[in-house]
Chain A
């Protein structure tokens, strides 16, 4: 039964991606730009769900990982003029290192303290960016000389392709034996330990993977925007959006997180005519979903499947 469902999910995903890939043929550049950002955001949310949904750790600071990747890539490009691709890879690696350094001590504390540690990390990064304005561009933002490409269609396809590949890897990981162990550790760490699994090692691994994809996506986003600023990749509010997207889409589904992110950004844009109310309405919908369908969009569908 699991096999049938998996393949059905696979077919649905394939169709959705195929349709998404043809969008540049008939939608406006404005919509494409919107979706491009949404796809990068989707990767943030999926990376976050690997930690929350599987490892059971609430990372309140996804933007720490995103921001480190984004700013490292941006600064390197700005200072040394290295190629965009090298900067992106180095950004992702910097994020992995930062994530590792943060998680190693943070995973030793229990319960809400892990979340608090990650939150403080964001505030520190934010401060760092503002204080070392000479390096980071400070509150005005960092101007980045290069971009990946200026072709809107190409940018869209790159983002879609990147999200698809990230989704395949993260989803595959979540369904692999490693994902099972992570899930067991997240649900009942005492028992998982008694079954012979080193919980800290597995959670650290999840954190590093999450950091890699967050940093990679953050770096790519920076080269799409051509600028990096606290408001787009570091601010706590951005992190909250990532979390809301993942929860909205469905905990422990990975793919749902991407759906949630796209929904959040597209809905916010649709509601733009309502002005300041837009954020309120989107937040309210998110609140309703969290309160009444804690499984999220995809979670509800999956658990119905599970019960049959």
Chain B
């Protein structure tokens, strides 16, 4: 065991690797977190930051690497053992015990991992009360979780994570779903953990939202570290800027006035969506013309997927979604897709155990044999790699090929409006280029309308005639891509 001084890092991660089959989610990651420090692990969606956190906590077993805690390598231990060593984790999504009170929920976190604990200990109740007060739940201690507002449910998660006085607190997206005022309160709470001498490791998408909170930041992309440093240094880093904003962005927008349709292909008016108590979309209005390529850019959690799922008919909403002048409310998701609004989801949703060809044929199920053959030939021209891989099982494809297959399957449905949700998620730059070319070809040679959701601005802007910026469930900017960098780019990092 190394002798570690008081100021030395309490948590040392060295060469952490996590592979899922052929996909390497975390590559050789190293970081140090000291006592009384807030350390931010930042990266775009799919960069591997959450996987890294889970591997540290033992929820995912690391493929390789060391996680040293107070000089002891804990990599590979199960989560419950790591937790008992002095780790607490604040989950983004929680499922509290709904029939128990808030206090009882906190009590659960305090219980020993023993089968002999048949009667609650008075001291535990006192401690649970103290923790409830500590995180601001004192007034709702005796209520049950279903009656609580969203922010209080998040407080309950904080309470559970710090209940057993952990030395290291891991926080997954501390501010997701919170209002601005609540963000302030939660920041203060997390700062107070630091002031008590705990090491705090938090995961978030962008530097901006946690800049005021963190002492140091590690920015990662595609599973690897880009840079570590103070928040302002990291924000100035060239590579970081390129990952988030892209370098010089070439745009080739067609002006909105060039679309002559009287009624837009798709209109979303004052759309609001709630997930339980969390507001996912607030009065969002967008429109898309026939043949237009529109990008909705925003960080993960901004509400892009929610917007697309509402359009596809998967979610209840208030407001209206209008297709060619007719309201879509009440139309089934299957019918919406059949009538030409086809979504290629972020998660791809391929039929993993079917071949590439079978996946494509399923997309073209409703076509006549002749039309399907024609569509397939056209598609293989667009994505030649799919032709080579026809007989291969979809789940054995690389990430980029899977994405092409997902887009290909959507295109087999001959969509009028194609919704692409985060097609660049976790893909290497060379694949992005291929996707880029395919999109350009679609724009040049077909009359298809495309609605693209992206956090990768470099990818989104060149293919956009118009851009919407979605932030915290609201549209905060709309305009042509040429003006994006000047007007909206700064607020995006």
Binding site for B on A (CB under 8 A): 1-2, 172-173, 176-178, 180-181, 183-184, 187-188, 190-191, 193-199, 201-202, 205, 252, 302-303, 306-307
Contacts and interface: CB of A to CB of B under 8 A. Distances in A.
Contacts of B120: 176-177
Interface string B109-147: 101010101111000000000000000000000101011
Given A178-B118, A191-B94, 13 more contacts: A173-B118, A176-B120, A177-B107, A177-B120, A178-B115, A180-B104, A191-B89, A191-B91, A194-B59, A194-B79, A194-B87, A197-B113, A303-B99
B99 A193 contact: no
Contacts of B111: 177, 180-181, 197
Contacts of B164: 196
B97 A187 contact: yes
A194 B91 contact: yes
Contacts of A193: 58-59, 78-80, 83
A218 B94 CA distance: 39
Given A195-B160, A196-B80, A198-B80, A190 B59 contact: yes
Contact of A194 (B89, B104, B107, B115): B89
18 contacts: A2-B101, A176-B118, A176-B120, A177-B117, A181-B111, A184-B97, A190-B59, A190-B91, A191-B91, A191-B94, A193-B78, A193-B79, A193-B80, A194-B89, A195-B160, A198-B80, A252-B99, A306-B146
Contact of B80 (A1, A197, A303): A197
Given A176-B118, A177-B118, A195 B146 contact: no
B32 to A, nearest CB: 22
A188 B83 CA distance: 16
Contact of B97 (A183, A199, A303, A307): A183
Nearest to A2: B101
B260 interface: no
A217 B111 CA distance: 31
A176 B118 CA distance: 5
B434 interface: no
Name the residue among B104, B115, B160 with the largest chain A CB count within 10 angstroms: B115
B405 to A, nearest CB: 26
B108 A195 contact: yes
B59 A176 contact: no
A176 B112 CA distance: 13
B171 interface: no
A198 B113 contact: yes
Name the residue among A172, A177, A194 with the largest chain B CB count within 10 angstroms: A194
A197 B104 CA distance: 16
B170 to A, nearest CB: 8
B84 interface: yes
B115 A202 contact: yes
Contacts of B83: 193-196
Contacts of B6: none
Nearest to A196: B83
Contacts of B118: 172-173, 176-178
A176 B117 CA distance: 8
Interface in B159-173: 160, 163-164
B119 A176 contact: yes
A180 B99 contact: no
B98 A190 contact: no
Interface in B76-95: 78-80, 83-84, 87-89, 91, 94-95
A175 to B, nearest CB: 10
Interface string B41-57: 00000000000000001
